[in-house]
Amino acid sequence: MSIEVRLKHLGIVLPPPVTAPPIGNYVAAVRSGNLLFLSGKGPKHPDGSTIVGKVGIDFSVEEAYQHARNVGLAHLATLHAELGSLDNVRRIIKLLGMVNAAPDFTRHPEVINGCSDLLVQVFGDKGRHARSAVGMGSLPNGMSVEIEAIIEVE
């Protein structure tokens, strides 16, 4: 089953890819050989504004899990825009998940599972990946989570 069909079967609708320029001197994706490096993204409200706040203060683990899933959907939209089809993904290689966390917060892996679980749901075994999930004192524009990815592509 193609990934596009699987998305429909799962009831997943990808958001439009981000077209706004990055907030720094970088690009959304860089391809080197068969690797595609996706820059860090944060979660967005439906109006496109950034979800801001600290996990463990402003957001629960469950809410932040949804934020990480939101970022995973944005990465899928970027992949689709870059590759033309998600069927051109060979494997999700690595995620770096950063959580804007309260100083005593320790459940970073549970938060980033929002993205990891989505990728495994969409790609099956090709979605299983290496990962780091870390806490930060702050993130750009106050976003609650930021996730970057390395993808092997056709």
CATH of the domain at 99: 3.30.1330.40
Global pTM reads 0.96
How confident is the prediction along the chain (154 residues), in pLDDT tens digits per residue?
899 999 999 999 999 887 777 778 899 999 999 999 999 999 999 998 999 999 999 999 999 999 999 999 999 999 999 999 999 999 999 999 999 999 999 999 999 999 999 999 999 999 999 999 999 999 999 999 999 999 999 9
Strand extents, DSSP E, the chain: 29-32, 35-41, 89-100, 130-136, 145-153
94 in a domain, yes or no? yes
Parent domain of 148? 3-13+24-153
Query: Exposed/middle/buried for 10, CB within 10 Å: 0-12, 13-18, 19+?
Result: exposed
